[in-house]
Amino acid sequence: MKNLFRPFLTYIGLALAALATGCGSDGPEPSLAAGEEHLALGNPSGATTNVAQPTNYLLLKPEYALSYHRTRGIPNWVSWHLETADMGSAARQDDFRPDNTLPASWYQVMGSSYSSSGFDRGHHCPSADRTATTAANSATFLMTNMLPQAPNLNQRTWAGLEEYCRKLARAGSELYIVMGSYGAGGTGSQGMATTLDQGRVTVPARVWKVVVVLPTGKDDATRVTNATRVIAVDVPNQNTVSAAWGGYRTSVDAIEAATGLDLLSAVKPAVQSTLEAQTDNGPTQ
């Protein structure tokens, strides 16, 4: 069963984020704060901008939204919207760097924190999903958008799923994508590890993604129906994984059970219940 308080927590999180960006109650109703559109289908953990909640800290960016876990040094999840307008001709920037929008007193994971570990700096929101401008592409290289990912998982399995999502977007769909991880202990090119950077970065045991595919339109949460395609994938963070991502499909319910998150919480409860119990069997390329 869903957490009945999650929609309320989502509202509080977005309200705090709006206050943080200077939106007041006077004057005309403000437009969405940067990043809020990426949470149109819900805030999976009720993350807020409260610095007293360092394991569920909300960061809203124009390119994506995320819940950061200071102790693990990686996100709990990153959520983003993908459409054709997000893809252009901007070059890959490769400017991996700390995220200076985190509270100043927090440790900032460096671009070099994964060096010589046998794990890739694996994107959540992919570089190739944000090529409309150089600035948008550069934003995907913040270390708050990364996790230590086994190279074959990152470069083969995950890359295949990412390209399939872009194919759907180019064909006229708009996608809402949420990615995260859980557990500790992955196997990279140099063997198994549980942490990097002197224990400051957790190597997750599993990596997951949920993709909601919609025709282009407005009021997206209300347009999700029992017929909407939802792809849920849960893959071990191991270098021996298959390149075929379709074999790792599961249900949203299973991911929620493993993570404690409430995905798609802004979708009508009856529709949510139906979609989250299903495992996708559609095409994979």
Q: Which amino acid is at 241?
A: V
| Nearest partner of 234 among 263, 268, 274, 267, judged by Cα | 263
Question: Structure tokens of 259?
Answer: 């993570």
Residue 233 in contact with residue 242, Cβ under 8 Å?
no
Burial 32-53 (b: 16+ CB within 10 A, else e): bbebbbbbbbbbbbbbbbeeeb
Residue 156: CA count within 13 A, CB half-sphere: 13
Q: Under 8 Å CB-to-CB from 198, ≥6 apart: which residues?
A: none
d(CA 58, CA 15) in angstroms, rounded, equals 12
- Just list the catalytic residues: 123
